[in-house]
A and B are shown apart, each in its own frame.
Chain A
Amino acid sequence: MTRLKSGVMSYVAITIAAVLVAAVPLLSADRYILKVLVYVGVNVIVIAGLALLFGHAGQISMGHAAFVGIGAYTSAYCVGQVHLPWLVGVAVGTALAAAGGFVLAMPALRLRGHYLAMATLGFSEIMYVVFREARGITGGSDGLGGIAYPEVAGFSFDTPVAVYLLVWGVALLTVLLVMNILRSRPGRAMRALHATENGALACGIDTAGLKIRTFALSAGLAGLAGALYAHSVGFISPGTFGLDQSVIYVATVVVGGAGSLAGPVLAAVALTLLPYADALIPGLSRETVAVLQNWETDIYGIAMIAVVVLAPAGIGGLLKRLRSGRAGEAHV
């Protein structure tokens, strides 16, 4: 049966991805490449959560970078200032981001599409101001440095390879869990909600609760990504968690294709790598790299408009059409 096959296919895909991920450090110990791939891994976690919220439940968040920032700063503070164990710091960062999502979602999710977008945008901008002004905790616009490497039970992830494997381990696990959610009851409920809220209500779906829980989960994942990012890179500043980054996240999901998970994840990988293309293609001239980095935002913006206008289902839609000729369920 096709449905069974697509389920197995997804697990196979993740296994292959895991093998590839593990293979990279064996092929190259280049710090630069590993660092870039850490960025990719962090973004994959954020995008998985956002694809769930925006792609499936149809709730737009223009402020997801703020949740990443909450996770990052909270974890850095817990480990650095309060001297909590790393795992606890990350857990607190994730929980606080999820709580933030929950609190914002309750009033905000009563709003329609563009109002919700503006509310999340407003929240994002407020958090940016907080990040900038709460110098005691965040170090202000100068940023926060000296963030410790991850450490679990005495084992310190203090090499590029260790950090890379940790981040990607979490990323793959996240994709797996989100995939499972999407393929079962909550995922179907989200798609129902996205299609018609009245119809979903008529099926006994608690749409208000679903929206809030999805938002909180999505925000929590962003916070987790932020915490991992902070401890991988060692230095964070408010600029990383601002509106521009939030818009890039939304653009990534749009380009990847709302309604699938594979599309946005692939888009996250491709778009994050784009300005660092010289990490993958060693022969790339510096001018080309400079152009790619310079025009990064334009590429996002144009890609986003082009996808929406020309191929609304994005990369994910193309994948689906390759795999099976029919329209129908939005599985991974």
Chain B
Amino acid sequence: MEAAEFIQYVIAGLKSGSIYALVALGFSVVYASTGIINFAQGEFFMLGGVLSVWFYSLGLPLPVAGIAAVVATAGLGIVFERFALRRQRSANPLVLVIITIGGSMVMKSLARHLFGPDELSLPEFTPGPSIDIVGAAVERQALWVWGLTVVAVLALWWLYRKTRLGHAMRACSISHDAARLMGVDTARVVMISFGIAAALGALGGFAVTPLTQTSWDAGAVIGVKGFAAAILGGLGNPLAAVIGGLVLGLLESLSVAFISSAYKDAISLLVLLIVLFVRPQGLFGSKRREKV
């Protein structure tokens, strides 16, 4: 394979990888604050794309439509946590899993009812020819995707390190009881975590729609892959989630290059299973001793 072709695959891998990274971040943020897996995370991604198409079709300028979609999805995430999940705080984690599964079913179905079964699209943020990077053709939109991912990661880093809310979130990820003793309103932190996770997912959905289109069922596959990325990196660690996303994207892309494109989707699933079975704490997680 020539260098240019290889680089093309690497670029493609980094492109999808950064989307996985955004979704994985969403999983990580929720898991860190609550210890549960939010099965509706993929639907937040889907809603970001679908809602931004709708806002745009109402006449809003593209960036406003995107922001509106992200905000709306974040709001939905908060509402979902507040009304469906909060009361079950002390419940069996299985119950919480089921509620997020139910939530995902409803969101998906509502999206189909409201926005139809067809693929939806957005124009590129900055239309123009692809840019040549080291011999590979990179769409301008891809640069937007990377840019927004970097912005999101930096914003999250700033949140965690420099703000009181971020400190509260980190306290919660260690222990809710300890955090409460320190005066942290853990219920609020959990709610906001859902909002942030939803916003991250939606941002990814918005950014990638001009490239891949979106539709009511775009969330399912992305959700699984984003989770695989989060697990690969190590749940609960935002930086690990990003790395996991990029690594997964690369693995997937290179498997298309060297194996076949038909089984592309199976790659991330295999990665998921292998990580779960062999090293559940992922690349960067620490082994948590679980009693029996």
Contacts and interface: CB of A to CB of B under 8 A. Distances in A.
Partners in one complex: yes
Interface of B is mostly: helix
A301 B94 contact: no
Contacts of B110: 298
Contact of A123 (B94, B97, B265, B273): B273
Contact of B36 (A58, A108, A114, A198): A114
A126 B101 contact: no
A58 B87 contact: no
A302 interface: yes
A107 interface: yes
A260 to B, nearest CB: 16
Nearest to B272: A122
Nearest to B273: A122
A301 B106 contact: yes
Interface residues of B, number: 43
A294 interface: yes
A9 interface: no
Nearest to B106: A301
A66 B273 CA distance: 15
Contacts of A112: 93, 290
Contacts of B263: 129, 133
Contacts of A11: none
Interface stretch (A14-22, A155-163, A246-254): A246-254
Interface residues of A, number: 41
B21 interface: no
Given A125-B265, A133-B262, A251-B102, A297 B276 contact: no
Interface in A30-84: 58, 60, 62
Interface stretch (A173-181, A305-313, A323-331): A305-313
Interface of A: 58, 60, 62, 107-108, 111-115, 117-119, 121-123, 125-126, 129-130, 133, 197-198, 201, 243, 247, 250-251, 254, 294-295, 297-298, 300-302, 304-305, 308-309, 312
Given A114-B97, A118-B37, A126-B266, 8 more contacts: A114-B37, A118-B272, A123-B273, A129-B265, A247-B101, A254-B98, A305-B106, A309-B84
Interface of B: 36-37, 39, 84, 87-88, 92-95, 97-99, 101-106, 108-110, 113, 220-221, 224, 227-228, 231, 262-263, 265-266, 269-270, 272-273, 276-277, 280, 290-292
